[in-house]
Amino acid sequence: MLEELNMPIDKVLALDVPDEVLLERLTGRRTCKSCGQMYHIKFDPSKKGNYCDKCGGELFQRDDDKEETIKNRLAVYHAQTAPLLDFYGKKGMVVKIDGTKAPNEIFESLIKVLEGK
């Protein structure tokens, strides 16, 4: 479809993060029931424990942040999406980016790849 639109894919960017790191990131997320503010129990906890710093609302874990849900999503990813990396990898189009680094470092890596450096 993209070729028909004269927009062929020339690069595939893969943000590489081990499953166990994704699990820790996602299962640790907590959301405020009142204002929607997000926290992380390890990386960005609320100073008020299980309550929101901003509004005092109760924090909860969304269903899609629960371990079982995330494990299912990862299984679907490995079965259905990851094979695309092999497909494009054989064409030499995949660039892997270390997704465990800080967001600004990842951003810089992405920019470098997109600028062809």
Contacts with Zn ion by CB under 5 A lie at 32, 34-35, 37, 52, 54-55, 57
Q: Which is nearer to Zn ion, 35 or 75 (CB)?
A: 35
Sequence-distant (6+) residues with CB within 8 A of 79 are none
Min dist CB 56 to Zn ion, Å, is: 7
Given a contact cutoff of 8 angstroms between Cβ atoms, the answer to whether 43 and 73 are in contact is no
Angstrom distance (rounded) from CA 69 to CA 57: 25
Q: Which is nearer to Zn ion, 34 or 100 (CB)?
A: 34
Min dist CB 25 to Zn ion, Å, is: 21
* Rg of the chain in Å (alpha carbons): 18
Min dist CB 31 to Zn ion, Å, is: 9
